[in-house]
Amino acid sequence: MKVVLLEGDGIGPEVTSAACRVVAAAGVAVDWIRADAGLNAAETHGDPLPEVTLDLIRQHRVALKGPCTTPVGKGYRSINVRLRKGLDLYASVRPVKTIPGVKVPYEKVDLIVVRENTEGLYAGLEHQVIPGVIESLRVITKPACERIVRYAFDYARTAGRKRVTFCHKADVMRLSDGLFLECARAVAEEYPFIAFDEKPIDNLCLELALDPSPFDVLVMENLFGDVISDLCAGLVGGLGVVPGANLGSRYAVFEAVHGSAPDIAGQGIANPTAVIRSAAMMLDYVGERAAAARIELAVARTLQAGHGLTKDLGGTGNTQTITDEIIKHLGA
Ligand code: NAI
């Protein structure tokens, strides 16, 4: 099986190579097709997301991606925004589940954040009206609203989930979130067997902080989803453990929630768990379900056993020791 590998920047090469080791140890023979993205690509191709990289993903359909640094204030558009728009990866899916052994103040968290990935304020449409005045356009369209809410319900149906919560700020952004809410209600009627509720985004934050356990599938627009994904990662142990997928109707790119972590890059101490779990999601997507489940179980056992863990998980180990432990537990 061929899968495109974007190592990315900062800790990207360290954590993606750990994930490749685990996939091989799980017995899946993947022929990784390396493609450039990020700062290195900017230097070699003059573009942090060269067309040749997009073409490789179009050819092979599936990619595993490390985080990419987007330099701020240098005229670059976010690589991730371009990738998601360029391949129409309209659904970001982030499963957030309590991991036994990881010390957090919450128990029984088991929710999925489904984020619309192509529109909203991240449409990237900004302009200067006059010096000192900038306008950002928040683009919300009916087809994009309907397909992301439908995605959330289809996900709920196939994953045996019971409730979809649509998160919005329709009382203030009456037209844009008003349209989104209208679409969500209409799509919800197609799924009478799944409960549906609506929650203002500020209330959602309060309730997640107080008790995240009742939430099931959450669906929302781009910016809200970006913020809520990181918040939810914090509920179960932080950025180092939560995996993610960017899915469209043709292509799929799997990546962790975290960024390139320049503060710890090159030291061999990054936690590779989130990318390893993203690789497990990728295997599940391509039908290697048994291997995916084995990796998930090995990660859970490793975190519970507590040996070789990285500093962010309270351990004294490093990228290699935690990867070795996960591989050891694959055989258990
Ligand atoms: P970040 O996620 O890279 O780092 C935030 C904090 O979490 C840092 O203290 C970092 O050391 C820690 N951290 C992150 N991942 C970790 C891991 N696997 N193990 C241990 N500690 C970890 O977020 P930040 O600093 O805001 O962004 C850095 C760069 O990454 C920026 O250029 C940003 O644009 C980019 N970024 C890229 C993303 C992607 O490619 N999907 C997502 C988020 C940010």
User: In the chain, where are the structural domains located?
Assistant: 2-101+236-330
Specify whether the CB–CB gap between 35 and 92 falls below 8 A.
no
Pick from 78, 85, 16: which is nearest to 54 by CA?
85
For strands 2-6 and 62-65, give the pairing: parallel
Ligand 1 centroid from CA 166, angstroms: 27
Who contacts 175 (Cβ-Cβ below 8 Å, separation ≥6)? none
Ligand 1 pocket member 117 (CB < 6 A): no
Within its chain, how far is the Cα of 144 from the centroid?
19
**Helix extents (H) in 211-258:** 222-235
* Number of residues in the chain: 332
Ligand 1 nearest-atom number relative to CA 255: 41
Looking at residue 315, its pLDDT comes to: 94
What dotted CATH number matches 2-101+236-330? Answer: 3.40.718.10
**Degrees to nearest 5, angle at CA 202 with 69 and 148:** 65
Q: What does the alpha-carbon distance between residue 42 and residue 185 come to, in Å, rounded to a whole number? A: 43
- 102 by Cβ neighbours in 10 Å (0-12 / 13-18 / 19+) ranks as buried
The best mutation among 117, 260, 276, 303 to test binding of ligand 1, ranked by most ligand atoms within 8 Å of the C-beta, falls on 260
Ligand 1 nearest-atom number relative to CA 273: 18
Ligand 1 pocket member 312 (CB < 6 A): yes
- Residue 273 structure tokens: 């768990």
Within its chain, how far is the Cα of 116 from the centroid?
12
Ligand 1 pocket member 68 (CB < 6 A): yes
Q: What does the alpha-carbon distance between residue 312 and residue 316 come to, in Å, rounded to a whole number? A: 9
pLDDT tens sequence across 137-184: 999 999 999 999 999 999 999 999 999 999 999 999 999 999 999 999
The amino acid that residue 118 corresponds to is: T
What is the mean pLDDT, run by run of 10 residues, along the chain of 332 residues?
96 98 97 94 90 97 94 74 93 95 90 97 91 96 98 97 97 97 98 98 97 97 96 93 97 95 96 98 97 97 96 95 98 72
Ligand 1 centroid from CA 135, angstroms: 27
